[in-house]
Amino acid sequence: MTRGMTRKDFLKSLGVGVSALMCTSQGFGFAATEGEREKSVAGEIFKNDGPSSPWKWSIEGFHYTSDGKNVRCQVCPNRCYLSPGDRSVCRSKVNIGGKLYSLAYGNPCSVHLDPIEKKPLNHFYPSTSIFSIATTGCNFRCLNCQNWEISQKKPEEVHFEELFPPDVVKEAMHTRSPSIGYTYSEAITYYEYMYDTAKLAKQAGLKNVLVSNGYINEGPLLQLTKVLDAANINLKSFDEQIYESLNGGSLQPVLNTLRTLHREGVWLEVTTLAVPTYVEDPEMIKRMCGWILKELGADYPLHFLRFFPQYKLTRLPPTPVATLELLRDLALREGIRYVYLGNVPNHQGSHTFCHHCGRILIERKGYLLSQYNMEHGKCKFCHTSIPGRWT
């Protein structure tokens, strides 16, 4: 890279800054024109420099196949098929010289210190902080996206920091955060950056938290679970047609992810955004709860979040609080022990109650805890063990 040249200018000079998508296994996307193809020098510039510089800002993809010219990404179910110079659906991967490269490595556009409850995780070391990072990109196209300013952008289209995996771990330890969160946009799109960071974090004694839509293939997910401690998966609905029309994805791969995380012992919490006219049907939620109980059990928390008009769904009203209360009551009656409401300040649905005696265990005011009635992971009143990861 020329001295003094910004990364954005560098990417443009290589011809990989254009929006060029090839068809995926689901049959959608756009083909690149000849003018959008790679420059021949790109394959050399993007190479890792070896031991003297192990954390270069772009890295070869971890999961893909190649015929020497065209590549197919294998990280998520989109399985993007890319000719030279083409971008993936998530906008973060590119074919350069018959190899797949991630352009989201070491360049987070969001770096924050959050309360763990913001993820949301209510049964994973409550009241601790979590060092949170995100790059651009997403493998979905949700009409109701809450972070579309970064999730629907290319890495070079936003302001970013250069923060490579060792630096992320160093910064997290400097803030005394026990956990690192991969969040905000879609962490699966920066899989290589997340995995390398999580591996170093694990070695340093930190916890790793995935906040995701769960749209990932089993092989990459199994590799990730070796360094993962907790996940919040956004189960966006329990209907294939809604997944296609609202999110641009499909349901089954997300259900597979939930099963895998459960089987591999990763602490799991599930979030569903109650979008009016899309995700508020009691019968659908009842089917969803039945699947959770059968496949995952009763102990993982389920969060229903209130929708606010965003992105391409500004025509819809916010979710009525009464609708959220109805869904919460339904899930509790079905047998899920811990059901929470989000985006509704100071509602009792944000508190944790013992599933045995019904007493309040954790009272929350926003992200602050005003009561904590637990000892050694048990209810202080009836001594019932409470599922979760506790300090």
Each residue's pLDDT expressed in tens, for the chain with a length of 391 residues: 433 444 445 445 444 443 332 222 222 222 222 232 222 223 333 434 433 333 345 799 999 999 999 999 999 999 999 999 999 999 999 999 999 999 999 999 999 999 999 999 999 999 999 999 999 999 999 999 989 999 999 988 888 888 999 999 999 999 999 999 999 999 999 999 999 999 999 999 999 999 999 999 999 999 999 999 999 999 999 999 999 999 999 999 999 999 999 999 999 999 999 999 999 999 999 999 999 999 999 999 999 999 999 999 999 999 999 999 999 999 999 999 999 999 999 999 999 999 999 999 999 999 999 999 999 999 999 999 999 999 8
Asked if residue 300 and residue 214 are part of one domain, the reply reads: yes
The total of structural domains in the chain comes to 2
| 290 is a domain residue | yes
- The reply to whether 175 and 266 lie within a common domain is yes
Residue 114 in any domain: the answer is no
99 shares its domain with 170: no
Are 333 and 231 within one domain?
Answer: yes
Structural domain harbouring 161: 132-344
> Are 273 and 184 part of one and the same domain?
yes
User: Which is nearest to 182 in space by CA: 145, 229, 142, 141?
Assistant: 229
- What would you report as the CA-atom Rg of the chain, rounded to the nearest whole angstrom? 21
Residue 67 lies in a domain: yes
Using CA atoms, how far apart are residues 46 and 144, in angstroms rounded to an integer? Answer: 35
Domain match, 150 and 59 both: no
- Quick check: is 280 in a domain? yes
Whether residue 48 contacts residue 196, with contact meaning beta carbons closer than 8 Å, is answered with: no
**CA–centroid distance for 388 within its chain:** 20
Looking at 83, 103, 123, the residue that finishes a domain is 103
Residues in the chain: 391
Q: Are residues 150 and 258 in the same domain?
A: yes
In a domain, 116, yes or no: no
Contact 99, 63 (CB under 8 A): no
Do 207 and 257 lie in one domain? The reply is yes
Same-domain status, 183 and 99: no
Q: Count Cα atoms within 13 angstroms, Cβ side, for 50.
A: 1
| 16 occurs within a structural domain | yes
The angle subtended at Cα 106 by Cα 228 and Cα 208, nearest 5°, is 15
| Among 93, 104, 94, CA closest to 134 | 104
Is position 362 within any domain? no
Which long-range contacts link 341-346 to residues 24+ away (Cβ below 8 Å)?
A: 341/303, 341/304, 341/305, 341/306, 342/120, 342/271, 342/303, 342/304, 342/305, 342/306, 343/305, 343/306, 343/307, 343/308, 344/306
Whole-number Å distance between alpha carbons of 57 and 193: 10
Other beta carbons within 10 angstroms of residue 366's beta carbon come to 12
Could you tell me if 148 and 246 lie in one domain? yes
User: 149 with 265, same domain?
Assistant: yes
